[in-house]
Amino acid sequence: MVVGFRLASSKGGDKQSGNGKERIGCFEENQQGREASPCASLALITSDSDWSSPEVGHVLKQHNVADLPLLATYLISEANLQKSSRWSNYISSLPRQPYSLLYWTRSELDRYLKASQIRLRAIERIADITGTFDDLRRRIFSKHPHLFPKEVFNLVTFRWSFGILLSRLIYLSSMDGKVALVPWADMLNHSCEVETYLNYDKSSQAVVFTTDRAYQSGEQVFISYGKKSNAELLLSYGFVPKEGTNLNDSVELPLSLKISDKCYKQKLKALKKHGLSASQCYPIQISGWPLELMAYAYLTVSPPSMSKQFEEMAAMASNESIIRKDLRYPEIEEKALQFILDNCESSISKYSKFLKESGSMDLDITSQELQNRGVFLKQLAVDLCISEQKILHRAQYILKRRLRDMRSGELRA
């Protein structure tokens, strides 16, 4: 039995919630394990979709533009046509000012996310999108100004369309990995507590998902956007889950080789051979940290006498090692754990400083609109920092306990 869903309003859309944008989707009726079918395959927006302005699409495909920038340009083109586009109702429902990190200014990123590593990820992503736009402008837009007028196809609209894609594109594994916008189905909200996701069903030729519990009539239905950390959800979707609800949450811990190390060049060479650099970030979860992080720590604190092991440490740090998955060096384990602890505590202090300062931020802003935006973005940042600092505090506790036991001789024996 295939059960459809309706949107809470005639056109659907996003509504404001306490921690970001909330998409609205409700079931007419549902039973646990039933499939819901939001739309048929003809309603998908993919790189193969027909353009309302065929000449624009033809020029882009002549230049072999990749799927993502092609879809971004498609969305801008269709949005510009307004009612003339077959997607006018859907596009008009899309948020014009989303809160994903793509829409934060550089000063906002520096101000509110200076403690979190996601700030650098956001800056890199914005730079990548800007570079992609500049490439299209140079190769295509500037040579066909009658098809791509500057007032329509510019960096502002390109960042908007790319942001829509990164927050709403769905990976359809059963369609050979094709990515698509699925109008109206992408209004469904994410929940960390469900594992159901959208996919293409060949038999019904529709995008469907199977619920993992029973829903009441009119109750909001949730899907999963994937096993992402709170920072990743903020980066792409503009919200932070409620504290303690995301079991996939993690925090990036930055580690670096010491330039004063006598073996710095030798260690760096080993890292570069395996695609790593002198500075790396590794995810720490509330349940622990990956073996790769431990391997990087071993390499950082290892003395010259262990130079023959630099290669295998670097390989393990990059997850390329297939020989020793239980990499351990008892003679330097204490130093490696202390190195990780020092970096944890350094990060914790940055979070503490931001959280302490956050209360007095934005008091100098006189514009009511900017003040409201600042309050909202700051709250997102505070929620993120609290969740990330909590993970670091847990890691700090575990590391201190292990070091205490080692130094008392319990583990050394």
Distance from chain centroid for Cα 147? 33
Looking at domain 2-237, its CATH class is alpha beta
Which residues have a Cβ under 8 Å from the Cβ of 172 and sit 6 or more positions away? 178, 179, 180, 198, 199, 200, 207
- CA dihedral of 5, 189, 22, 186, whole degrees rounded to 10: -70
Alpha-carbon distance 63 to 61, whole Å? 5
Which residues have a Cβ under 8 Å from the Cβ of 384 and sit 6 or more positions away? 113, 116, 118, 230, 231, 234, 240
**Residue ranges per domain, the chain?**
2-237, 250-407
- CA dihedral of 212, 218, 220, 224, whole degrees rounded to 10: 40
Q: What is the CATH number of domain 250-407?
A: 3.90.1420.10
Tens of pLDDT along the chain (413 residues) come to 233 333 333 333 444 344 544 443 444 444 455 555 444 445 789 999 999 999 999 999 999 999 999 999 999 999 999 999 999 999 999 998 777 899 999 999 999 999 999 999 999 999 999 999 999 999 999 999 999 999 999 999 999 999 999 999 988 887 888 889 998 888 889 999 998 888 888 877 778 888 888 888 888 888 999 999 999 999 999 999 999 999 999 999 999 999 999 999 999 999 999 999 999 999 999 999 999 999 999 999 999 999 999 999 999 999 876 655 677 899 999 999 999 999 999 999 999 999 999 987 765 666 777 778 888 999 999 999 999 999 999 999 999 999 999 988 755 55
Which residues have a Cβ under 8 Å from the Cβ of 82 and sit 6 or more positions away? 88, 92
Please check whether the two domains, 2-237 and 250-407, share a CATH topology: no
Distance from chain centroid for Cα 350? 22
Strand partners, 282: 253
Strand 35-40 vs strand 2-3: parallel, antiparallel, or unpaired? parallel
Rounded alpha-carbon distances, angstroms, from residue 221 to 2, 16, 181, 216, 224: 15, 17, 19, 9, 11
Strand 20-23 vs strand 14-17: parallel, antiparallel, or unpaired? antiparallel
Strand 5-6 vs strand 170-172: parallel, antiparallel, or unpaired? unpaired
The owner of tokens 């459809």 is: 4
**E strand residue ranges, 173-302:** 178-180, 189-190, 199-201, 206-210, 222-223, 250-256, 279-285
